[in-house]
Structure 1
Amino acid sequence: MFFRKREPRPEPVATRTGRRPGQSAREKQQELADAAPIRTFIARIFDIHTDERAWRLGADGEERVGALLEQLHPHGWHVEHDVRVGSRGANLDHLVIGPPGVFVLNTKAVKGKVWVGGPNVMVDGYRTDYVEKLEFEAQRVRRCLLTATHRQRLWVQGLLVMAHRKPVVKQQPQHVAVLHHSELVPGLLSQPVKLAVEEVAELVEASRREETWAE
């Protein structure tokens, strides 16, 4: 079964929006699996940590969070997944726009113990750069949307979503919120309304335009 000739895959459409949750991660995971099917098979049996495993878990986490975000649509929210930004392969896991504002979600599928103390997010005792990267993403999204809509002001909130174990949060970071995926939808729906219906529509329309993210 490992040496069966595979049919060539069609080239994906190079769009920035309208993508599936975890699409980039899933494509990368499949590429690695196809390149070394026997090694991938053995690694999965013994749960060996490989790049293919990391991309697979990442895609699983984004797909799980993406499915949860579907619950927001009836409440006047819009969600974009796997948004490609710029020309260097950067992407946003999820972009959520609703009456309370704009939220950039970064999903982490780590299975170790997550501890949060202000700007420090530790996974099994090792410090990560999750907060710094998400703050950069949120500022980039804010800049892109301000340019696209010609608004003068816009607050964009970064959310670091843990797709496996619930994090131990001693203190939240200043500009980023860290939470478990089970807290995501209730937390978003509980936020106070800050944008009028027309403002939400304007931001949604801008988020769907390819040129918005071509920075």
Structure 2
Amino acid sequence: MMRRDTGRRPGQSARERQQALASADPVMTVLARQLGINTAEQAWDAGARGEQHVGRLLNPLRADGWFVMHDLKVSRGGTNVDHLAIGPSGVFVIDTKNVQGSVWVGGPNIKVNGFSKDYVEKLEAQALLVRQALLEETDWDSLWVQGLLVFVKPDLHVKEQPENIVVLDDSELLPVLVNGNRRLSTAQVERLARAAQAIWR
């Protein structure tokens, strides 16, 4: 029987960064929040809250046979995967974004409040790292891994989906996961879960 709780909490790395910044300059942290000044500390706080929210959505899937991990370090360079979900409909690398304002998606181009973001390229790279690691651990020849870019309660406008990942809001996440076509047997989910635990425990 695979272990369902891997010990890492959703948003753990982001929360640690936020707390380190707040502790380094507590007076400035309080003043910035009171004056409405955007800071790196606030950005990490928003990121942590977003990952915690998505983690709360994902964790109940474990009762239905899904395997879920959070806050994975998938490269020596420190590449972080917010969430990994493995279930009957496949392997999903989930990147959470908790941003304020308008989000526009036109294929590979994503803009937040008019500013271009490299979210697509980064998530594609994360999905590839996860796929390569799982293939090596399982010794399988092929594996489908889908990147999901999840925005938390956004003003989201998707004109065209990117080619290799799917952009959605948090309300769409669970339906995409549980209503997808079956790609993996129970035995395959178990094998991939053991592999993920061996790699990222």
> Secondary structure of 2:93's partner?
strand
- Match for 2:64: what amino acid? H
Greater gyration radius: 1
Aligned to 1:67: 56
TM-score, structure 2 length as denominator? 0.94
Deviations 1:137-168 (A, max 9, x none): 10111000000000111010000000131411
Q: Show the 5 A alignment for 1:50-89.
A: 50-89=39-78
Q: CA–CA distance in 2 between the matches of 1:142 and 1:89?
A: 17
Superposition CA RMSD, Å: 1.3
> Secondary structure of 2:77's partner?
coil
> Secondary structure of 2:42's partner?
helix
> What 5-or-longer segments of structure 2 have no aligned partner?
1-5
Q: Which of residues 119, 122, 131 in structure 1 aligns to 2:108?
A: 119
Q: CA–CA distance in 2 between the matches of 1:135 and 1:199?
A: 23
TM-score, structure 1 length as denominator? 0.88
Aligned to 1:158: 147
Q: Show the 5 A alignment for 1:58-207.
A: 58-207=47-196
Regions of 4+ moved over 3 Å: none
CA shift for structure 1 position 18: 2.8
Q: CA–CA distance in 1 between the matches of 2:79 and 2:128?
A: 14
Aligned to 1:29: 18
Alignment identity in percent? 52
- Match for 1:168: what amino acid? H
Q: Are the counterparts in 1 of residues 29 and 41 from structure 2 also a CA contact under 8 Å?
A: yes
Aligned to 2:38: 49
CA shift for structure 1 position 88: 2.1
Number of residue pairs the alignment of both structures matches: 196
Q: CA–CA distance in 1 between the matches of 2:85 and 2:7?
A: 13
> Secondary structure of 1:67's partner?
helix
> What 5-or-longer segments of structure 1 have no aligned partner?
1-16
Q: CA–CA distance in 1 between the matches of 2:26 and 2:158?
A: 39
Q: CA–CA distance in 2 between the matches of 1:207 and 1:117?
A: 33
